[in-house]
Amino acid sequence: MKKTFPLDIEGRHRDRVVDALKHELRKYVRRERRRALPPGVDFLDFDCRFGLAETGAEPAHLSGLGALIDAAAREGATQVYIEILARPGHRQAWPAVPAIAEENP
């Protein structure tokens, strides 16, 4: 998803527009996670970018998008650009931890 969302819509309160935007993002992520995974893929990871315009978008973490939207709305932004792209993720094994010998008193 690559989209510019307006935050000022005539006839709608700005807080409700922000809430609807967050809901749409969560709905998109849920829909993407429900899709069948390709062979050899463990999960879907998301590459996100956020900015006031497409040209100034910076990489962001998926869990931090809500806070970024709130901050932009508080600063008086009229629109925000959000890009969320799903990519295959592969789980990695935890590194082996050496066993600690217990001392007997």
Q: What pLDDT is recorded for position 104? A: 59
Q: What pLDDT is recorded for position 16? A: 96
Is the confidence at residue 65, as pLDDT, over 90?
Answer: yes
- Is 0.85 topped by the overall pTM? no
Cβ(78)–Cβ(5) below 8 Å: no
Rounded Cα–Cα distance for residues 1 and 3 (Å): 6
Q: What pLDDT is recorded for position 99? A: 66
Rounded Cα–Cα distance for residues 94 and 97 (Å): 9
How do residues 6-45 score in pLDDT, each as one tens digit?
999 999 999 999 999 999 999 999 999 999 988 888 888 9
Q: What pLDDT is recorded for position 62? A: 95
